[in-house]
Structure 1
Amino acid sequence: MNYEARQVTSEEPLALPDPDAERARRRRRLVVIAAVVVALVVAGWFLLGRHKPAGDAAAAGGSAAKQVPNVTVAVPGIQIVDRVIAANGSLAAKRDMPVGVAGEGGLVRAVLVEPGQWVGAGQVLARIDRSVQAETAASLAAQVSVARADLDIAQSELDRARQLVDRGFISKADLQRKGATRDAAAARVKVAQASLAETRARNGRLDIRAPTAGLVLTRQVEAGQIVSSGSGMLFRMAMNGEMEMRAQLAESDLAGLHVGAQAQVTPVGTTRVFPGRVWQVSPVIDPQSRQGVVRIQLRYDPALRPGGFATASIVGGSTSLPLLPESAVQSDRKGNFVYIVDAQNRAQRREVQTGQVTDNGVSITSGLTGQERVVLAAGAFLNPGQEVQPILQATRH
């Protein structure tokens, strides 16, 4: 019986799956999954976006309150600062002496010195041919001898006449004539001697001599050259070898500058610094350039070459100003400024005018009284109104 039932069942047709129903089941499954994902996202937003961010905001506010930057500040006060004036100019001999022909000139036989050589007062620099002048001097010397011989004869005749007049052999009138002859002969001797002395003096001026002791700077004459009083300068000398710098200064810088002020001079092309002092301040101002000349005396040194260019730092007195390190001073297109910390510990920008920059720092000519708390460093990272934690640093006076 069971066999028959199983047999009948096996003979019934098999049921095939419906494709549309299968796709419907898949869509329902995807919709359920999407709904679950959306529910999880919404739940996460409620948990993280509403509750946790509130806690994070509070934590962020607390950390920001704790991250107030520390800055080092100082109260600069007022310090005595040297007024140092920077200047440019040229080197020159303090007393530049041109040397030329003092006499009538002639043919140069020899030049005895070279540039850079030291000479004494009256030393011969160049010799001029004097062959003609020497013959003239010899002729005048002979005339002196002749005049002296005539004087001797006239004196002897006068002496004999004096002996004979007492005996009555000659008259007193003859005696007087012989006395006059003697006097004329003596006068001719003096004239001849004067002519000889003049010629010898002229001959002595033929040689070109140093007017004083010093250093020969230039030479513009050679042996064989014909020179005269119109030849101009043949040598240039620095009197006693003393040098100077002629610095050009603005009218404002000349104010308060006095003779005796100390200076440091550095020739171009070298790092050597030569000490000097101001020995002359120009009494006039050039109406075109509005500048004046300050002359700085220097000791001789081969590195100081007249005509060269140099820079100078002149101490022109002192003044009382705030002094800050260079790190405290910032600059932008508006000019120089510093940051100060106010009573509420907030950084504030302060425009300043800077003065002299030295190894000790930068002097502030305007913008500060010296009693402010000035940020010494990290000013470039601050903003106006930013809260800071100032750390006071003692200043050295």
Structure 2
Amino acid sequence: MPGFHRRRWLAITACLSVAFAVSAFGIWGAPARSPTPVRVAAGVPVEVAAAERRDVPVHLTGIGTVTPFNTVTIRSRVDGELQQVLFSEGQDIRKGDLIAVIDPRLFQAALDQANAKLQQDEASLANARLNLGRDTKLGKDAFASQQMIDNESSSVDQLVAQIAQDKAMIDNAQTQLSYTKITAPIDGRAGIRLVDQGNIVHAADAGGLVVLNQFHPISVVSTLPQTDVPAIRAALAAGTVEALATSRDDGTTLDVGTVELIDNQIDPQSGTVRLKSIFPNKADALWPGQFVDVQVLVATLKAALTVPSDAVQRGPAGPYVYVVGAADTVDVAPVKVGQIADNTAVITDGLTEGQRVVVRGQYRLAPGTRVTPSAPAASGS
């Protein structure tokens, strides 16, 4: 029995040794785990731009209507058959071009008749002068009475007056004949033909034959508030005032011209004043009846402090911008804003040159927020 207990004791000791070794390996032999890294919060991505000084043009913008520089309704000045139409609809016509012909035969006959009457009266005058001269000589020898001489002298005077009347009739007949050839009084573009060839036209017809509109140059009549009158007058007094006609759809510049005049009165109902601007319209970008925006350059702000207009935000206390500090944290800066145009805002107070302002990404910002700044895209500059 003593041998049996000894073997049992040895087995128990062996099992305890194995268990201790396994436990020790689990505590000291297992590889150590690496500590969890501490994450640093990333800044809010924003686009920034620096406040800079530059010359800024001051424009006054109003809605304008394109009107022809000149408009002429071509009408016949005599009655007759419209024999020829020598223009095409939509054609550019030069001043003096023949555009229509009316039957000239009646007017040519009247001219021929007036010329014949002149020749007849000139022959009668020559005969009357011969008689007067002959009888005047006879009167010196008492072979012709003074009354006869006086009568013949009166006949000569009457025929002189008749010849003057004949010449006037010839001038009138020539004028009436010239009206049978209708020429363009201005350079312009023909519209839709109103009378077809072969119709009888009259001088009293209201519609006319065609309407000519002058496109080169062309004018635009626009309106501005009455409060802008002093600025416009000052600009006109200083010299030529530039005007830009821009599309109301996408804002593209259609043509560049000059302000011709400011109207001599303000509309009391709308409180606006009309301006007339002239544009060369070489590319035919302006068309009569078209609505455009007219930007009038009245001044230029020299070395004005500017930021992109997207940087300016509106709050209960007024406009403000987010300024990026040296540690890439933002702060709110109240500003006073002047003109905002062409994606540029003029800052009159609240910023200094070179300060960085947030252009995009403001909706996630608050004072003290850390940001990751980047330059704005080209379209937003």
What TM-score results when the alignment is normalised by the length of structure 1?
0.66
Does residue 229 of the first structure (1) align with residue 204 of the second (2)? yes
Does residue 311 in structure 1 map to residue 293 in structure 2? yes
CA distance in 2, matches of 1:71, 1:143: 97
Instruction: Give the superposition deviation at 1:77.
Output: 6.2
Shift in CA distance, 207/332, structure 1 to aligned 2, threshold 3 Å: farther
Residues 1:340 and 1:234: Cα distance change in structure 2 (over 3 Å): same
**How far apart are residue 283 of structure 1 and its match?**
3.5
Aligned residues: 329
Distance 2:91 2:288 in 1: 15
Q: How does 1:220-299 map to 2 (within 5 A)?
A: 220-223=194-197, 224-239=199-214, 241-257=216-232, 258-259=235-236, 260-266=240-246, 273-299=254-280
Aligned match of 2:136: 162
How large is the RMSD of aligned CA atoms in angstroms? 4.1
Segment of structure 1 superposing worse, 290-299 or 250-259: 250-259
The answer as to whether partners of 2:335 and 2:347 remain within 8 angstroms in 1 is no
Aligned residue type for 1:298: F
- The Cα of 1:209 is off from its aligned counterpart by 3.2
Contact map agreement 1:250 1:292 (CA 8 A) in 2? yes
Q: TM-score, normalised by structure 2?
A: 0.69
1:210 corresponding residue in structure 2: 184
Deviations 1:254-278 (A, max 9, x none): 5513342223324578967322121
Residues 1:134 and 2:108 are matched in the alignment: yes
Contact 2:254/2:285 (<8 A) preserved: no
Cα distance in structure 1, aligned partners of 2:363 and 2:291: 42
**Pairs within 5 Å for 1:1-80:** 76=51, 79-80=54-55
CA displacement 1:188-215 (0-9 Å, x = unmatched): 2222222232233233334433334444
Q: What is residue 165 of structure 2 aligned with on the other side?
A: 191
Structure 2: gaps (5+ residues): 1-35, 376-381
- Determine the structure 2 residue equivalent to 1:28: none
CA distance in 2, matches of 1:184, 1:71: 102
Identity of matched residues, %: 19
Structure 2 partner of 1:348: 332
Contact 2:318 2:334 in 1 (8 A): no
Does the CA-based 8 Å contact 1:87-1:249 persist in structure 2?
yes
Describe the shift of the 1:340–1:185 C-alpha distance in structure 2 as closer, same or farther (beyond 3 A): same
Matched residues in 2 for 1:117 and 1:69: separation?
Answer: 62
Letter in 1 for 2:149: L
Counterpart-to-counterpart distance in 1, 2:315 and 2:80: 70
Question: CA shift at 1:379, angstroms?
Answer: 5.5
Return the structure number with greater strand share. Answer: 2
Q: d(CA) in 2 for partners of 1:219 and 1:252?
A: 45
Distance 1:356 1:323 in 2: 9
Counterparts of 2:340 and 2:330 in 1: how far apart (Å)? 29
Query: Does 2:66 match 1:98?
Result: no
Go from structure 1 to structure 2 and tell me whether the alpha carbon gap of 1:213 and 1:163 turns closer, same or farther (over 3 Å shift). Answer: farther
Confirm or deny that 1:385 pairs with 2:350.
Answer: no
How far is the alpha carbon of 1:151 from its aligned partner? Answer: 0.9
The question of whether the paired residues in 2 share the 8 Å contact of 1:244 and 1:297 is answered with yes
- Could you tell me how far 1:218 is from its partner in structure 2? 5.2
* Larger radius of gyration between Structure 1 and Structure 2: 1
Q: In the alignment, what sits opposite 1:49?
A: none
1:197 maps to a residue whose letter is D
User: SS of the counterpart of 1:174?
Assistant: helix
What amino acid is aligned across from residue 296 of structure 2 in structure 1? I
Counterparts of 1:233 and 1:269, CA distance in 2? 36
CA distance in 1, matches of 2:218, 2:46: 52
**Cα distance 1:282–1:390, how it changes in 2: closer, same or farther (>3 A)?**
farther
Aligned counterpart, 1:328 = 311
Q: What SS class does the counterpart of residue 313 from structure 1 fall into?
A: strand
Label 1:72 to 1:208 Cα distance change in 2 as closer, same or farther (>3 A).
closer
Which residue of 2 is the match for residue 338 of structure 1?
321
Question: What displacement does 1:79 show?
Answer: 4.1
Q: Which residue of structure 1 lines up, in the alignment, with residue 30 of structure 2?
A: none
Shift of 1:381: 6.2
The AA in structure 2 aligned to 1:193 is K
Letter of the aligned partner of 1:185 in structure 2?
L
The unaligned stretches of length 5 or more in structure 1 are 1-55
**Is the CA contact 1:123–1:209 (under 8 Å) kept in the aligned structure 2?**
yes
**Aligned residue number for residue 151 of structure 1:** 125
Contact (CA 8 Å) 1:81, 1:363: kept in 2 or not? no
CA contact (8 A) 1:244 1:296 kept: yes
Tell me if structure 2 keeps the 8 A contact 1:267–1:308. no
**How far 1:92 moved relative to its partner?**
1.9
**Alpha-carbon distance between aligned partners in 1 of 2:285 and 2:348, rounded to the nearest angstrom:** 40
| Shift in alpha-carbon separation, 1:169–1:78, aligned structure 2, 3 A | same
- Amino acid in structure 2 at the alignment position of 1:113: F
CA offset digits 1:223-253 (Å, max 9, x no partner): 2142323424443334583212223333445
Letter in 2 for 1:337: Y
Residues 86 and 312, structure 1, Cα contact 8 Å, conserved in 2: yes
- Seen in structure 2, the aligned counterparts of structure 1 residues 240 and 202 have a Cα distance that, compared at 3 Å, is farther
Q: Is the 8 A contact 2:324 2:358 kept in 1?
A: no
The 3-state SS of whatever aligns with 2:267 is coil
